[in-house]
Structure 1
Amino acid sequence: MTTAAILTVSDSRHRSNDGSGAYIEETLTAHHVSVSQRVVVIDDVVDIQSQFLQFEQTNPAIIITNGGTGIAMRDVTIQAIMPLLNITIPGFGEAFREISLEEIGTRALASRAIAGFNQRNQLCYCLPGSTNACRTAMEKLILPEWQHLLFERQK
């Protein structure tokens, strides 16, 4: 069974009120992906990288972060994760913003959502913290494509 780890990045969320992380976990589980870990950290580059690297060590096939992908000064998830990805998938962010533009209008332009593979060839997604944005990404991009992306990377 495929495994995933979920990292919520937020200064205001805790495991008990992490709606987006819970949604991602429930959705993955419903699609036969086992969630091995789900952790919440604050918007801090070192905390984000530390937890992400701990996830890497447990060897999930997929790592999904949510939160901290906007343009606010406290949004540092992309700065934290980008150096840890050796392959990026530009089409994911482009498609996510295009779909979001249809759903929420030009506010979608502020999203820096990304996807890629880390050094251990784990498929990594950085999603916004909004549950609606996570739903969009999961339903329209991640669930239809994650198996193919992992297959292609293993060639």
Structure 2
Amino acid sequence: MAHPQVLSRPVRCAVVTVSDTRTVESDRSGQIIQTLLTTAGHRVHDYRIVPDEPARIGPLCQTLAQEAEIDCIILTGGTGIAPRDTTYDAIALLLEKTLPGFGEIFRQLSFQEIGSRAMASRAVAGVYRSTLIFSLPGSSNAVTLAMEALILPELPHLVSQMQA
């Protein structure tokens, strides 16, 4: 079966860093995501830093997903198991469709780099209201791995699938 045509325009993204301590100046992971997206020809329409609180993360993603100019939301931070790591919990409640392969492959690739600690990552991806959502760890190495190995190669195809 032939794959549908890939999106013929740049993917329009929002980047959200989930952190209680990061600032625009110190947000290395958020900066990496933005740089990799724009270098690949995509557009960053929104960038925010939000505290690691489900009551803030979920509503922000709902608001961003309602904006017509955003196809994809990429979050970084809050995917571990520490008490303040609540991004997964907020995102998992929103997702209407999940992409289990994203988290599975990400953890497999992470295992090759960091060993068994990869099992503590709750990286997740899916769809909410025709908006693709990726939730990545806060580590800049993890962000680079996820973006380069998984997200950027498939982003136009995944967005075109949602619009088919």
In the superposition, the TM-score normalised over structure 2's length comes to 0.90
Q: 1:24 aligns with which of 23, 28, 33?
A: 33
Secondary structure of 1:115's aligned partner: strand
Displacement of 1:47 after TM fit?
1.0
- 1:98 and 2:103 correspond: no
Deviation sequence 1:1-34 (CA, Å, 0-9, x none): 3210011001110112100001100110001111
Task: Please show how residues 1-155 of structure 1 align to structure 2 within 5 Å.
Answer: 1-59=10-68, 60-119=70-129, 121-155=130-164
Quick one: which amino acid aligns to residue 112 of structure 2? E
Secondary structure of 2:79's aligned partner: coil
Displacement of 1:38 after TM fit?
0.6
Secondary structure of 1:16's aligned partner: coil
Superposed CA RMSD in Å reads: 1.0
Structure (1 or 2) with the larger CA radius of gyration: 2
* Runs of 4+ with deviation above 2 angstroms: 151-155
Of the structure 1 ranges 52-61 and 20-29, higher mean CA displacement relative to structure 2 is found in: 52-61
Of the structure 1 ranges 142-151 and 31-40, higher mean CA displacement relative to structure 2 is found in: 142-151
Quick one: which amino acid aligns to residue 160 of structure 2? F
Quick one: which amino acid aligns to residue 125 of structure 2? A
In the superposition, the TM-score normalised over structure 1's length comes to 0.96
| Cα distance in 1 for residues equivalent to 2:141 and 2:57 | 22
Structure 2: unaligned runs, 5 residues or longer: 1-9
| Cα distance in 1 for residues equivalent to 2:36 and 2:128 | 23
Quick one: which amino acid aligns to residue 78 of structure 1? Y
Secondary structure of 1:112's aligned partner: coil
Displacement of 1:57 after TM fit?
2.4
Structure 1: unaligned runs, 5 residues or longer: none
